Amino acid sequence: MLTEINPLEYLLSPNKRIYWIFLLSSLLIALAYLWINPRDRRINFSKKLWLHPSAMLDYGYFVFMAIFKVLVILPILFGAKEVTLWVNSALLDQYGFTRLEGFSYTQIMLMFTISLFLISDFTRYWLHRFLHAVPWLWEFHKVHHSAKVLNPLTFYRVHPVESLLFGLRYSLSIGLITGVFIFLFGALIDIYDILGVNILAFVFSIIGSNLRHSHIRLGFGEKFEKFLISPFQHQIHHSKHHVDTNFGGFLAIWDWIFGTLTLSKGVERLKLGIKTDEMKNFRNIRNLLFFPIFSIFNKLKCLFK
């Protein structure tokens, strides 16, 4: 437990966004980008960016949440294993012992790997979209969007309620797919992985996932950005004028299909954050934790009056 509480463990775990290999690959991509685009060097190498009050808040909040998740959030979460057992049991009760024949172990691994990746990304898209569309959920998600500047640790600038929701989403989606595959193909299923991470998620993480929360305006071009979310597309999502677009995690196809896609072409200046009169409500860790709750309470009080 003590090692899990150590925030430095995030650098050593391939399941974390800021795993050192992912950070290193993003750094190399960023350096290549800045070599080609020297005009962006000034802001990305500036103390005003890395020592900005918003960035300093990210650093402190990251340490707090790394400890808070282990002590408070994880103990109340049910895991994907519990969901897997429940789904498999429910299917057995409903349909009895059933197996799909004619598939090789390699084919099953491939289908399982792709299914896990697609369902996880699809459910992430919809939860993210609901966080914007549902007013009381938006109050919690404002914590993330209150960042005035972006850095890799901004990824962890989320309210505990949002962190709990994403944990539930993961358990339900992964558990559902795993339960179905065990029911159809038996318990001997596996995924193609690198260092224990789904190979597709690993590849997408290593090609610059940490640049999404940065000021490296790296786009993938109009054709690719209809399928893959580029770092610049996610930065666009953090701008005040495009906050209801580009909800995708790794894939942009969900935004493309459901009409929430914004391409990076033609987008120049980005004004990050939320409404100016609301920014003052998210200036310290206490505000990040409690202001959304007070805001919802006050709205409910006005509603019932």
pLDDT digits (tens, 9 = 90+) for 56-82: 999 999 999 999 988 888 887 888 899
| Residue 17, token pair as written in the block | 């966004």
Is pLDDT at 7 greater than 80 in this prediction?
no
| Residue 238, token pair as written in the block | 């953090």
Rounded to an integer, the average pLDDT of 207-236 is 96
- What 8-state DSSP symbol labels residue 249? S
Is pLDDT at 157 greater than 60 in this prediction?
yes
Q: How far apart are the first and last CA of the chain?
A: 46
Q: Over 201-222, what HEC string results?
A: HHHHHHCCHHHCCCCCCCCCCC
Residue 133, pLDDT score: 97
pTM: 0.93
d(C-alpha 126, C-alpha 89), whole Å:
27
Domain ranges of the chain: 2-304
User: Higher pLDDT residue, 269 or 135?
Assistant: 135
Is pLDDT at 1 greater than 50 in this prediction?
no
In the chain, pLDDT over 90 holds for what percent of residues? Answer: 81
Residue 137, pLDDT score: 97
Per-residue pLDDT band at 121 (split at 50, 70, 90): very high
Is pLDDT at 2 greater than 60 in this prediction?
no
d(C-alpha 257, C-alpha 260), whole Å:
8
Rounded to an integer, the average pLDDT of 240-262 is 96
d(C-alpha 84, C-alpha 7), whole Å:
29
Residue 4, pLDDT score: 52
- Sign (positive or negative) of CA dihedral 232, 116, 161, 207: negative
Helix locations, the chain, DSSP H: 2-5, 9-12, 20-36, 41-44, 47-50, 53-68, 74-76, 80-95, 105-133, 135-145, 160-185, 199-206, 231-237, 253-258, 276-279, 285-304
| Residues in a beta bridge with 197 | 194
Is pLDDT at 3 greater than 60 in this prediction?
no
Residue 176, pLDDT score: 96
d(C-alpha 286, C-alpha 57), whole Å:
11
Residue 167, pLDDT score: 94
Contact 231, 212 (CB under 8 A): yes
d(C-alpha 162, C-alpha 85), whole Å:
25
Q: What average pLDDT is seen over the chain? A: 93
Cα-based distances in Å from 29 to 44, 134, 198, 210: 13, 36, 22, 10
| Residue 204, token pair as written in the block | 């997408």
Is pLDDT at 123 greater than 80 in this prediction?
yes
163: three-class secondary structure by DSSP: helix
d(C-alpha 182, C-alpha 198), whole Å:
18
Residue 269, pLDDT score: 84
